[in-house]
Amino acid sequence: MPFFLVPLVGPFHLRFPRYNAVTVRDVTRALEPETVVTSALPPGAFDDPAWQDVEEPALWMAVVPWARRAGLDVAAVGEPSPDPDALEAMRRYLHEMAGRHPALERLAEARAPVEEALQRALDLDGVRERLLPALAELHAVRLELFGDGPGSDWLEERAERIVERLAPYRGRRTALLAPADQAAPLRARLAGELVDAPNVPPTDEARTRALLDTAVAGEVDDPGRLLAALRERPESEARLAEAEVLIGNGHPAEALATLREAVRGDFSRPVHVPGWLLARLGQLYDLDGRRDDARRAYRGVLALDFAPAAARDAAREGLERPFAPPAPPGDTPA
């Protein structure tokens, strides 16, 4: 029984409407797996709620909650980078030592197709046909120039560890959710055992996810139309997205009214919503001069069993001093 590869693209799931977090779940569900395994997290990661801060929204937003509700085994087999900053540190070193170092020029040439692919709104087929080959070529160039180490983020050694941890799942129908940059070294080690998960048609829930992601991204051509679409949705996350659009278009009082209404209902799901909703509510209370209400909202964030780290940071800052929006670019204090 092969492993079925479902590539993860990190935060780009929030920017790819046709390959968003719900799409990844739908692709995984269509496989009818016995087990869902991810190499984006190390063994034991699921024992701590903090795993939900990983920059893989498809996992915490959709796939893992669905798999657990379905009673499936969910496991983490990843091997973290020993130094996530090593690639950038090496680039800086080469630049400082030699300026236009030939290795840097080779890397820039190999990186260009990756960057070009990420600028497109890819679906799963596009990820496989454009992004994965470009990442494989970039990895090959890094290996040629630097070997397996800081210059290649130790991907070869890490892939060896991941494959070792996959051994207990051989013979089971297993969905392997792997970060896109791991696909090439894993495929080389699992030749004949790793097959691509097929694409699936978009579902209504995937379309709703795309709508919410668009609102939060803030790159909106027609905010009125987007607000109308969000107001048709009953989810608390839609109220948070609605507030973000209102804030981005200069309507903080309407955003405050929207979030005050949202907290009167159930806003416990998805897992990132309670923390962000309360943090944003506190900021809007501060802008409205309601400091006591703002403090209560910030304390609510810190009282949650889980809130995204950035939401907790915003709450701590809000308790220290009233929130003020950042100055527009080019403005300087008097």
Q: What is the pLDDT of residue 328?
A: 58
State the Cα–Cα distance between residues 209 and 21, nearest whole angstrom.
Answer: 8
In angstroms, the Cα distances linking 24 to 130, 297, 324, 329 are 17, 33, 37, 37
Whole-number mean pLDDT of the chain?
A: 92
Tokens of 146: 């630097």
Residue 332 has pLDDT above 50, yes or no: no
**pTM value?**
0.90
| pLDDT digit string, tens, across residues 301-323 | 999 999 999 999 999 999 999 99
Tokens of 114: 């990756």
Q: What is the pLDDT of residue 218?
A: 77
| pLDDT digit string, tens, across residues 120-152 | 999 999 999 999 999 999 999 999 998 999 889
Reported as a pLDDT band with limits 50, 70 and 90, residue 334 is: very low
| pLDDT digit string, tens, across residues 28-69 | 999 999 999 999 999 999 999 989 998 999 999 999 999 999
Residue 75 is classified by DSSP as: E
Q: What residue spans in the chain does CATH classification 1.25.40.10 cover?
A: 218-320
The percent of residues above 70 in pLDDT, for the chain, comes to: 93
Question: What's the fold here for domain 218-320?
Answer: 1.25.40
Phi, psi of 184 (to 5 degrees): -65, -50
Residue 98 has pLDDT above 60, yes or no: no
Residue 246 has pLDDT above 50, yes or no: yes
| pLDDT digit string, tens, across residues 206-233 | 999 999 999 988 777 889 999 999 999 9
- Do the Cβ atoms of 143 and 170 come closer than 8 Å? no
